[in-house]
């Protein structure tokens, strides 16, 4: 690909609000396939059975998008300041503070795909934002926009880890970057801070069945009593392993207004959540990721937290 066009394309992607842009050749992911298979075989995906489906698509991406040669890996900042002064308020992960990111980023990807076809002559271009069998964190690593930290999240040395990932598979070829070296070193703050011991003692491996984010969002049925008293007020998602990460000292509030927490979406206390009506819930959170759990599911979590 012509260097001038790639520079222009990168600028156009930044103009859509993406903070991180990287390019990598699309290829089979042999090493990562072995790690994924071992993780699945150990049942560390818990109840997320969908992660075991379409294994070939995840690890041999050209079978998912035939004709594709490259991946464009993208990152968009969602960091929000939170009010930590009120211990009675139940906590929501920062990523869910604003409008559901799928809705926002999907529209932006469509614009970029159109741009690739109209200006670059792409015959194949397909975008993904946590919506298909794509290993986004692997491609973020391969494209040089992040490394995979001990908490298993993508970390960028200039921005920390509070960013959404997205990918575009295309038949265009680019001048590609190099993976960022791992900068976690001997640090184990995320491992030691996790109250449910979801992160393996050596890092880089997560047992989803112990993760607060999984238990408050994906888990079906009653929450095991073994986790009672360990959640530190998290009712939807969890940011503990990010809050303690030294790299997040570089985090800055997002400039994307859709991801900013408006006053009517700020966290509520227990009584307010339990007395919230469906109409009030939809009015406050109807555009956010919280609708995935539903008001009834959220209220069940609140009751678990305060039994």
Write out the catalytic residue numbers.
130
Question: CB atoms < 10 A from the CB of 62, how many?
Answer: 14
Rg (CA), the chain: 20
Backbone angles phi, psi at 283, to 5 degrees: -65, -40
How far apart (Å, rounded) are the C-alpha atoms in residues 216 and 231?
Answer: 10
- CA-based torsion, 147, 153, 156, 157: positive or negative: negative
What 3 state SS string does 64-123 have? CCCCCCEEEEEEEECCCCCCCCCCCECEECHHHCCCCHHHHHHHHHHHHHHHHHHHCCCC
Query: Is the alpha carbon torsion for 183, 188, 189, 193 positive or negative?
Result: positive
């Amino acid at each position: 690909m012509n260097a001038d066009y790639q520079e222009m394309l990168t600028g156009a992607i930044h103009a859509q609000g993406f903070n991180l842009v990287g390019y990598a050749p699309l290829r089979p992911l042999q090493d990562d396939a072995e790690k994924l298979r071992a993780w699945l075989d150990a049942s560390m995906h818990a109840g997320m059975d969908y992660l075991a489906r379409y294994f070939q698509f995840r690890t041999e991406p050209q079978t998912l998008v035939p004709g594709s040669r490259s991946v464009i890996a993208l990152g968009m900042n969602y960091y929000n300041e939170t009010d930590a002064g009120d211990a009675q308020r139940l906590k929501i992960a920062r990523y869910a503070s604003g409008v559901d990111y799928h809705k926002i980023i999907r529209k932006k990807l469509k614009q970029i795909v159109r741009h690739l076809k109209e200006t670059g002559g792409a015959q194949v271009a397909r975008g993904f934002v946590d919506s298909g069998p794509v290993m986004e964190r692997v491609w973020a690593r391969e494209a040089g926009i992040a490394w995979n930290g001990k908490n298993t999240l993508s970390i960028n040395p200039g921005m920390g880890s509070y960013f959404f990932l997205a990918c575009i598979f295309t038949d265009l070829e680019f001048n590609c970057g190099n993976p960022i070296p791992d900068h976690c070193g001997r640090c184990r703050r995320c491992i030691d801070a996790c109250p449910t011991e979801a992160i393996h003692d050596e890092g880089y491996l997560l047992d989803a069945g112990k993760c607060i984010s999984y238990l408050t969002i994906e888990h079906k049925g009653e929450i095991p009593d073994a986790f009672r008293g360990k959640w530190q007020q998290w009712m939807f998602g969890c940011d503990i392993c990010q809050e303690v990460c030294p790299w997040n000292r570089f985090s800055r509030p997002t400039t994307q207004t859709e991801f900013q927490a408006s006053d009517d979406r700020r966290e509520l206390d227990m009584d307010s959540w339990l007395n919230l009506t469906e109409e009030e819930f939809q009015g406050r959170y109807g555009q956010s990721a919280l609708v995935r759990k539903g008001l009834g599911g959220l209220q069940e979590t609140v009751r678990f937290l305060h039994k």
